[in-house]
């Protein structure tokens, strides 16, 4: 009986430590993924800005604003030219959306960042980021805080989902054995 309890305690201590380290490592990758995503997002912003600037220059050379050029192009009877108006309009809207997302993520605080990131995440850019994601050892305050949060979350999950149910089950089993011996 004492040997069984000692073995369970040893396994229990090892398992919670492994889970804590795993949680810390997993959560600490959050800031690294966000950082790599923001770099990729910046590339998309730069390219969208370049494209919209080309449209603005074409409008300026024609003596109109970009919005006016888009409206004229959309109203054109030639379907191919009208589709070009949609391309210009979508590029302009995409630039606004990307710049808004970039600004929101970069200006968010340490505590807000994961929620702001999720709220403003472009799934296409996130998928591309994930496909080339390189895990890194966190050396920033943000990475260390994420690691600590991961450690606490995993420890809490372990105690709530494993240790407490096992402990309660063991107590119930012992109580039944004592009751059976008495009866």
pLDDT at 44 over 90: yes
- pTM score: 0.72
63: left (phi over 0), alpha (psi -120 to 50) or beta: left
Higher pLDDT, 8 or 71: 71
Give residue 6's domain range.
2-176
Is 135 part of a structural domain of the chain?
A: yes
CA angle 130, 136, 138 (to 5 degrees): 125
What is the tally of structural domains in the chain?
Answer: 1
- In whole angstroms, give the CA distance from residue 35 to residue 113: 11
- In whole angstroms, give the CA distance from residue 125 to residue 33: 12
Residue 137: its pLDDT value, please? 80
Is 108 part of a structural domain of the chain?
A: yes
Is 181 part of a structural domain of the chain?
A: no
Is 54 part of a structural domain of the chain?
A: yes
pLDDT at 2 over 70: no
Residue pLDDT, tens place only, 142-177: 888 888 888 888 888 877 777 666 666 666 666 776
Residues 6+ apart with CB under 8 A from 105: 34, 38, 41, 113, 116, 117, 120
């Amino acid at each position: 009986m004492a040997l069984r309890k000692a073995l369970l305690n040893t396994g229990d201590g090892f398992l919670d430590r492994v889970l804590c380290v795993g949680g810390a490592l997993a959560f600490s990758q959050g800031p690294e993924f966000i950082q790599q995503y923001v770099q990729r997002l910046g590339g998309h912003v730069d390219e969208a800005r370049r494209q919209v600037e080309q449209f603005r220059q074409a409008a300026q050379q024609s003596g109109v604003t970009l919005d006016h050029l888009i409206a004229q192009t959309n109203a054109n009877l030639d379907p191919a030219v009208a589709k070009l108006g949609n391309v210009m309009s979508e590029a302009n809207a995409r630039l606004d959306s990307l710049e808004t997302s970039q600004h929101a993520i970069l200006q968010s605080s340490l505590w807000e960042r994961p929620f702001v990131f999720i709220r403003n995440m472009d799934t296409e850019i996130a998928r591309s980021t994930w496909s080339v994601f390189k895990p890194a050892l966190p050396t920033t305050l943000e990475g260390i805080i994420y690691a600590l949060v991961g450690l606490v979350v995993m420890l809490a999950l372990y105690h709530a989902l494993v240790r407490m149910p096992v402990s309660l089950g063991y107590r119930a089993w012992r109580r039944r054995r004592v009751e059976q011996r008495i009866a």
